[in-house]
Amino acid sequence: MTDGTPRPGAPAPDPDLLYSEDEEALRAAVRSLLADRGAPATVLAALESGAPHDTGLWRALATDIGTAGLLVPEKLGGHGASAREAAVVLEELGRSVAPVPYLTSAVIAVTALLGCGDGAGVAAPLAALAAGRTVGVLALPLPTAPGTPPDLAVRAAADGTLTGRVTSVADAASAALLLVPAEGTDGPALYAVEAAAEGVRTDTVTPLDLTRPLGHLTFDGARGRLLATGDRARAAVDRALLTGAGLLASEQLGVAEWCLAETVRHTAERTQFGRPVGSFQALKHRMAALWLEVASARAAARYAADALASDSPDAPVAVAVAQAYCGPVAVRAAEECVQLHGGIGMTWEHPAHLFLKRAKSDELALGSPGRHRDALGALVGIDAP
Amino acid sequence: MTDAADLRRRTAALLTAHPPATTGRLDFLRARFDAGLAWVHFPEGLGGLDAPRSLQSVVDAELTAAGAPDNDPGRIGIGLGMAAPTILRFGSEEQKQRWLRPLWTGEEVWCQLFSEPGAGSDLAALATRAVRDAEGARSDAEGGGDRVVEGGRDQGVEGGGGWVVDGQKVWTSSAHLARWAILIARTDPSVPKHRGISYFVCDMTDPGVEVRPLRQITGEAEFNEVFLTGVRIPDAHRLGEVGEGWKVAQTTLMNERVAIGGSRIPREGGMIGVAAEDWRARPALRTHDLHQRLLTLWVEAEVARLTGERLRQQLSPTLNSVRAGGAPTGQPGPEGSGMKLAFARLAQEISGWEVEFLAEDGLTYDDWTMRRPDGVDFTGREAGYRYLRAKGNSIEGGTSEVLLNIVAERVLGLPPEPRTDKDVAWKDLPR
């Protein structure tokens, strides 16, 4: 272990693991919007229309309610809130598997830009992202984990032109602004590239999770604007990935919550052998065990959000714990949802499959549970053999 | 409103008036109780100041720093965790005054006479009988000269005729040390099982109370069997109304689950800390498989710790967190059952991992001598002991299977199990 890494026994002092009144008010606004505009049947219809995301819903969420600017300071055009509030938005988005680029644009891209300092090149794109006018994405494969420098597939020439290919970038097709980590002539660098610029190609792929589209980005001499270099570029990208991973836990919590609630509702109503199937112990125990996991996932996700919000030195541990725990819980909740719904759980009409696909895709996103456990081992002094 | 600064002032005053270095242990504990600094969320005059429960840590930290003695909470856990909240909620003023102070100082140890050989998970099926004490009642009527229990000893709470109790209890921790027991017994066999139970405080030194050690899987006798033969209990030692004992017992049981699953622990506290230290100390025994499993358990232990912390914040918001929705009730809900479930499973998995990791050393056992410990010592003994003792964690205080039913029905609102004994008088149930 190196100096400055958090030690076991040193979690953040007095973390606040509950929700504030303001956070509950934000939740109510987002939930109400999603109930009107993002019901699972609507989500399904929108997906089949072929649009990369629901632009009407995104505008209402990002601009009208103002969630896109939560992480941006007020002087830079945002709302000056914190990761705690963004986490509440993600819980609600998880509960509805809404196809909107919140995690990618309003969390990860915004955090990456904030890490580039306050130069003039940053202020304008940040204001556009904060207002929800522009969708931006960090051009890295969705499975990229925080904590280790990613292998950079894009090279930057001395004149600022970019060449290379980045696969499986979430919400790539929606993005107007690409934040591209590249290997420059003097080490790592972060560039801003307009998706519509010459030399940029986006190939969409058919994703497992229809609600979070993926695209491959090819840069062939595309012109980039330099945002940061060296340690600053590396730190900006890592902070973006850390924040994304920590807040993804809240989305996973929302996915798991919906799955459990729907399963309880269904099994309490569905009758077989002359009794509601939810009265059978074999099923009850599975749902009760799942409730315990969901309650635990909430504590883990809240701690990660609180640690990120307070910039705690324990944040890397908090995020690794949350990701190692919440991803599998969301998957298990979705799998139980499909199973305990019986035949209906296997149909295209029932929304359970949307949650299963999101949960499984989320488990791989921003580092698999195993990668986060490995990272944790190094952080807390449980070294590999 | 008593705040942290006020508590610091009161703690400093206590330490000035009763310097720990020159004050006897018991004298200090009594003075602390009388100053309202024992359990600050209790009422004034009963060891508390009606302060938020979360502020207890302020007092504890100051007293620990000053080298003050504690009340050995591990030894008197049943009194603190189960009897005290029940007495506080259902006891008369006289009962509270008589029992709470020596309970807290540890002068009087408490035990719990609930489980029976025929009534474990189905606790309400209990068969221990309490019948009105005809003789005692007559004595009272004849002028009250004779007391139900013979004179000359500390009598507890006086008055109101009495009861005669016969039956057998089991799994009783601390019975061999206890002065008092909380006891549930059947007072009306002609009504369905939950309705004919009453709740008493039993004097463990009374004639007719026989305590026998119950040796268990670990080799030690941490628990006891308790045989009750013609034990006389004054009616003034009843908590709650006659026939309402099940309701009173619910308070005890909810607090028991919180006490078992909800104590505040630091990161790597308890068994996961022992396992992690084993890992750090013995690199030669490491394998990739054991590394992966230890990290998984570490994550689960940390998440369980955070979940317990969150539950505590819900029960008793701290000052920087009064923004929690709704006023804290201070009463544990069914979530406490969830925490007990999590800790039981983790203790079993971690201790099983540890025995396996230790390889040849995991094949040995420290001591099979029949002993009667004061309490469970999960970290003071070797891995084999932890492994075996942890098997009880999913049984004591409600089996994990029953707790899952409780969570499913009371938290998730799932339809109840069909109950064939629901409207049948207890005396007519098949046994």
Q: How far is A119 from chain B (nearest CA, A)?
A: 36
Q: In the predicted model, is pLDDT for residue B327 greater than 70?
A: no
Closest alpha carbon to B99 in B112, B110, B113, B115: B110
Q: Residue B316: what pLDDT?
A: 62
C-alpha closest to that of A148 among A379, A380, A384, A375: A375
Region at A2 (left for phi over 0; alpha for psi -120 to 50; beta for the rest): beta
Q: Which residues pair with B212 in a beta bridge?
A: B225
Q: Name the band, by pLDDT with cuts 50, 70 and 90, for residue B145.
A: very low
Nearest to A225 by CA among A116, A142, A133, A146: A116
Q: Where are any strands of DSSP class E within A187-270?
A: 187-194, 200-205, 214-223, 225-229
How confident is the model over A250-258, as a mean pLDDT? 98
Which of B174, B332, B186, B312 is CA-nearest to residue B252?
B332
- Least reliable range by pLDDT among A228-232, B32-36, B309-313: B309-313
Rounded to a whole number, what is the distance in angstroms from the first to the last CA of chain B?
Answer: 55
**pLDDT classification of B430: cutoffs 50, 70, 90:** confident
Using CB atoms, pick whichever of A285, A302, A380 lies closest to residue B404: A285
Q: What was the pLDDT predicted at A237? A: 97
* Local confidence band at A160 (pLDDT 50, 70, 90 cut-offs): very high
Q: For chain A, how far is it from start to end, CA to CA, in angstroms?
A: 15
- For A196-249, the pLDDT digits (tens) are 999 999 999 999 999 999 999 999 999 999 999 999 999 999 999 999 999 999
Token code pair at residue A213: 């589209």
pLDDT band at A79 (very low <50, low <70, confident <90, very high): very high
Please report residues of A whose CB lies closer than 8 A to that of B281.
Answer: none
Residue A384 above 80 pLDDT? yes
A385:B404 CB<8 A:
no
Name the residue with higher pLDDT: B421 or A161.
Answer: A161
Choose the weakest-confidence range: A160-164, A290-294, B124-128, B376-380: B376-380
DSSP letter string, B151-209? SSS---S--S-EEEEEEEE---TTTTT-SEEEEEEES-TTSBGGGSEEEEEEETTSTTE
Query: Which residue of B267, B277, B306 to mutate against A (max A Cβ within 10 Å)?
Result: B306
Instruction: Give the tens place of pLDDT for each residue, B245-283.
Output: 999 999 898 877 665 444 578 999 989 999 999 999 999
Beta carbons within 10 angstroms of residue A64's beta carbon: 11
- Whole-number average pLDDT of chain B: 88
Neighbours of A311 (CB within 10 A): 11
Report the alpha-carbon distance of residue A319 to residue A370 in Å, rounded. 13
Nearest Cα to Cα of residue A341 among A241, A247, A258: A258
Q: Give the minimum alpha-carbon distance from A367 to chain B in angstroms, rounded to a whole number.
A: 15
A191, A226 Cβ separation under 8 angstroms: yes
Largest CA distance in chain B: 79
> pLDDT at residue A8 above 70?
no
Check CB contact of A267 with chain B, cutoff 8 Å. yes
Over range B282-296, report the average pLDDT.
98
**Band of the pLDDT at B151, cuts 50, 70, 90?**
very low
B309 vs A283 pLDDT, higher one: A283
Inter-chain touch A325–B299, beta carbons under 8 Å: yes
CA distance B382 to B379: 8
Comparing CA positions, the residue from A68, A27, A33, A6 lying closest to residue A302 is A27
B190 is written with which tokens?
């002609």
Residues facing residue B162 across a β-bridge: B234
Lowest mean pLDDT among A38-42, A136-140, A173-177, B251-255: A38-42
The answer to whether A377 contacts B291, with C-beta atoms less than 8 Å apart, is yes
Under the banding of pLDDT at 50, 70 and 90, the label for residue A48 is confident
pLDDT (average), residues B353-382: 91
The pairing of strands B162-169 and B180-186 is unpaired
Is A10's CB within 8 Å of B267's CB? yes
With a cut of 60, say whether residue A119 has pLDDT above it: yes
Whether A187 and chain B come into contact, CB under 8 Å, resolves to no
Residues facing B180 on adjacent strands = B110, B203
Percent residues over pLDDT 70 in chain B: 88
SS3 B210: strand
Are A290 and A217 contacting, i.e. CB atoms less than 8 angstroms apart? Answer: no
Q: Is the pLDDT of residue B143 over 50?
A: no
pLDDT beyond 80 at A128:
yes
Backbone angles phi, psi at B203, to 5 degrees: -80, 115
Neighbours of B287 (CB within 10 A): 12
- Closest by CA to B346, choosing from B309, B398, B294, B382, is B294
pTM of the model: 0.89
Using an 8 Å CB-CB cutoff, list chain B residues near A260: 412
Q: Which residues of B touch A8 (CB under 8 A)?
A: 267-268, 276
For A135-144, A297-306, B33-42, B392-401, which range has the lowest pLDDT when averaged over its residues?
Answer: B392-401
CB pairs A-B closer than 8 Å: 151
Q: Is A313 on the interface with B (CB under 8 A)?
A: no
Token readout for A335 is: 């799998």
Closest CA to B268 of A255, A321, A76: A321
Range of lowest pLDDT (A155-159, B321-325, B408-412): B321-325
For residue B133, the tally of other CB atoms under 10 A from its CB is: 21
Greater confidence (A233 vs B1) lies with A233
Per-residue model confidence as pLDDT tens digits over B8-18: 999 999 999 99
Whether A115 has a pLDDT exceeding 60, the answer reads yes
Of the pLDDT bands very low, low, confident and very high (cuts 50, 70, 90), residue B154 is low
Least confident of A291-295, B54-58, B84-88, B95-99: B54-58
Say what the pLDDT of residue B160 is.
Answer: 66
Over residues A286-302, mean pLDDT: 97
Higher pLDDT, B192 or B55: B192
Question: For residue B332, what pLDDT band results from cuts at 50, 70 and 90?
Answer: low
Q: What pLDDT score was predicted for residue B136?
A: 54
- Which has the minimum average pLDDT: A45-59, A261-275, B284-298, B416-430? A45-59
Contact B35, B13 (CB under 8 A): yes
Q: What would the two tokens of residue A321 be?
A: 């714990």
Nearest CA in chain A to B410: A288
Confidence of residue A43 (pLDDT cuts 50, 70, 90): confident
Ranges A191-200, B320-329, B356-365, B391-400: which has the least confidence: B320-329
On average, the pLDDT of chain A sits at 94
Q: Is the pLDDT of residue B221 over 60?
A: yes
What pLDDT does B146 receive?
39
Q: Which residue has the tokens 């002032």?
A: B9
DSSP output for A313-338: TTHHHHHHHHHHHHHHHHHHHHHHHH
pLDDT value of position A12: 75
Q: Is the ipTM of this complex over 0.90?
A: yes
A194 Cβ contact list (under 8 Å, min separation 6): A176, A177, A178, A200
CA distance B145 to B138: 11
Instruction: Answer whether B238's CB lies under 8 Å from B200's CB.
Output: yes
Residue B4: CB atoms within 10 A of its CB come to 16
Look at A299 and B303 and tell me if their CB atoms are within 8 Å: yes
